[in-house]
Amino acid sequence: MQLVTRAELGWPTSAAPFQATARGVKIHYEGTAVSTALLSDHGACLREWKSIRASHLANTAENYSDVAYNFAACPHGYLMEGRGVGRRTGANGNQSLNAAHYAIVGLVGSEGLTEPTDAMLHAIRDGIELLQAHGAGPEIRGHRDGYATSCPGGPLYAWVQRGAPRPGAAPTIPTPADGTKTITVRAGQTLGAIAAAAGVAMSVILGLNPQVATHPDVIRPGDVIVLPATAEPAPVTPAPTPTTPPAPTTPTVPAPKPTTPTPAPSPAFPGADKFGPGTDNVYVTKLGEMLARRGGGRFYTEGPGPRWSESDRRAVAAFQAAQGWTGTAADGIPGPETWRLLVTGQGRDIPAAAPSKPVPPAMTPFPGNTYFHAGASNRHVTQLGQALVRHGYGTYYKQGPGPRWTEADRRATTAFQRAQGWRGTDANGYPGPETWKRLMR
């Protein structure tokens, strides 16, 4: 391991809060253009890392206590200390996500230097193992897992999905236990299709394959899946070969007998970027309509429509839970497997809501406008931020929510108000009685 410490960087001890354990590590990238000069100049890598910390500390809206990441990895194989071990990250999107995983950023971006070098991957792996030796659990995830973002970019995320192996290392292949066997995923297969073709319940597949249980929507060709030994092999449905009926040679020759048309393939998953807070497109409408037919209509007081809403998230989460999925696999954001089950009419429907006794409302009354303004710091600001996160607006918080009013609170409130169809002064980012009532219910 080639470790560059905070002392070598000229930085004091991190002021980030202590956190002794986490479920694992999340991998990030810079998300902006990164100069390819880093490939030939390690000094440029050190300057880049220092610049990232300086920009975070200068961000008064997010109120960072230090650079957001625990470590950074450069193209030359150096692991550069950020917050370090035993410190909570500020990079994963909101307070609960920050508590769940530590964070490592690779110095690659969306333009310029986009592909991690083998040396960088070794350095990230060094960082993962260092954090695992100091309280991190076994999970290795991308920032986009559980949060609406493109981070850590395509190349890094593909590596994460392979299990974040060291370059040149043999892939980890599950060892089949007695009474089981393995298959290798081929192009065109999904976990749901494998389960259906093998005649095995999805819950059995997930129980035998913990490496994919947290996100069954994501499997790739080459992955190894464990099946019960008695299961039938999972076939790949070949794409239909189009046929052109022969034209008649003369007008008197009867036209050839028409063949039975091949059913059109199911629509492809349009992509995760089409769903989540702020999205507005035909796919959201299509999703809602399919969910309504599968028992999710009770989540919609009006619609479904093209603008993503909390009703869509709750209906998707209910459908995912009906399949037996939990955790990030039932986060309310559709992936390829959720979409496939809805489009093909497969999987379990959303069960009817259990009858419940009326519960008297326990909503906290609106405390007043005086608690929400620049410089304010009180428990009502924390309560507001937590409600915004529950309603799907946590993307505006890089850290927190907390008691101090920040630009993140104002922007999240504005987004919520605009989602209600309000404009002008009714969507100024400061909560009033109606905003408060809708957020707290």
pLDDT band per the 50, 70, 90 thresholds, residue 357: low
| Res 218: pLDDT | 62
Residue 97 has pLDDT above 50, yes or no: yes
> Does residue 39 fall inside a structural domain?
yes
The helices-and-strands tally (H runs, E runs) of the chain is 14, 10
Mean pLDDT for 215-241 is 64
Token representation of residue 175:
């060892």
Q: Would the CA dihedral through 103, 106, 109, 110 be positive or negative?
A: negative
pLDDT band per the 50, 70, 90 thresholds, residue 177: low
Task: Based on the fold, state whether residues 189 and 294 are members of the same structural domain.
Answer: no
Mean pLDDT for 244-266 is 48
CATH number of the structural domain spanning residue 393 = 1.10.101.10
> Does residue 315 fall inside a structural domain?
yes
Task: Based on the fold, state whether residues 157 and 184 are members of the same structural domain.
Answer: no
Task: Based on the fold, state whether residues 425 and 283 are members of the same structural domain.
Answer: no
pLDDT band per the 50, 70, 90 thresholds, residue 85: very high
DSSP 211: H
Task: Based on the fold, state whether residues 430 and 300 are members of the same structural domain.
Answer: no
> Does residue 386 fall inside a structural domain?
yes
Q: Are 78 and 114 in contact (CB under 8 A)?
A: no
How far is it, in rounded angstroms, from Cα 402 to Cα 404? 6
Token representation of residue 200:
């095995």
User: How many beta carbons lie within 10 A of that of residue 1, not counting itself?
Assistant: 12
Token representation of residue 226:
């464990």
Partnered with residue 141 across adjacent β-strands are: 26
Task: Based on the fold, state whether residues 7 and 45 are members of the same structural domain.
Answer: yes
Task: Based on the fold, state whether residues 293 and 401 are members of the same structural domain.
Answer: no
How far is it, in rounded angstroms, from Cα 214 to Cα 237? 26
| Res 269: pLDDT | 85
At 440 the three-state DSSP class reads helix
Task: Based on the fold, state whether residues 7 and 153 are members of the same structural domain.
Answer: yes
CATH number of the structural domain spanning residue 204 = 3.10.350.10
Residue 213 has pLDDT above 70, yes or no: no
pLDDT band per the 50, 70, 90 thresholds, residue 263: very low
DSSP letters along 121-161, please? HHHHHHHHHHHHTTTEEEEEEETTTTSSS-TT-HHHHHHHH
Token representation of residue 238:
């070949």
Task: Based on the fold, state whether residues 38 and 111 are members of the same structural domain.
Answer: yes
Identity of the highest mean pLDDT range in 103-112, 229-238, 272-281 = 103-112
Residues 6+ apart with CB under 8 A from 63: 399, 400, 402, 404, 406
| Res 264: pLDDT | 40
Task: Based on the fold, state whether residues 151 and 192 are members of the same structural domain.
Answer: no
CA torsion angle 143 190 203 152 (round to 10): -10
Q: Would the CA dihedral through 428, 431, 435, 439 be positive or negative?
A: positive
CATH number of the structural domain spanning residue 63 = 3.40.80.10
Rg (CA), the chain: 25
Mean pLDDT for 291-299 is 89
> Does residue 263 fall inside a structural domain?
no
| Res 259: pLDDT | 47
Question: pLDDT, tens digit, for every residue of 112-166?
Answer: 999 999 999 999 999 999 999 999 999 999 988 878 888 999 899 889 888 899 9
| Res 409: pLDDT | 92
- Which whole-number Å values give the CA distances from 435 to 287, 352, 429, in the listed order? 27, 30, 10
> Does residue 99 fall inside a structural domain?
yes
Task: Based on the fold, state whether residues 116 and 54 are members of the same structural domain.
Answer: yes
**Where among 110, 132, 161 does a domain terminate?**
161
At 232 the three-state DSSP class reads coil
> Does residue 78 fall inside a structural domain?
yes
Residue with tokens 């630009």: 407
Task: Based on the fold, state whether residues 184 and 303 are members of the same structural domain.
Answer: no
Query: Domain containing 400: what range?
Result: 369-440
> Does residue 242 fall inside a structural domain?
no
Residue with tokens 């019960």: 228
Task: Based on the fold, state whether residues 334 and 221 are members of the same structural domain.
Answer: no
At 68 the three-state DSSP class reads coil
Residue-averaged pLDDT of the chain: 83
CA torsion angle 158 23 395 153 (round to 10): -10
| Res 214: pLDDT | 54
DSSP letters along 285-342, please? HHHHHHHIIIIIGGG-SS---SB--HHHHHHHHHHHHHTT--GGGGSS---HHHHHHH
**Where among 228, 259, 285 does a domain terminate?**
228
pTM comes to 0.46
Pairwise pLDDT comparison (267 vs 334), residue with the higher score: 334
pLDDT band per the 50, 70, 90 thresholds, residue 262: very low
> Does residue 294 fall inside a structural domain?
yes
| Res 19: pLDDT | 92
The total domain count for the chain is: 4
How far is it, in rounded angstroms, from Cα 84 to Cα 69? 8
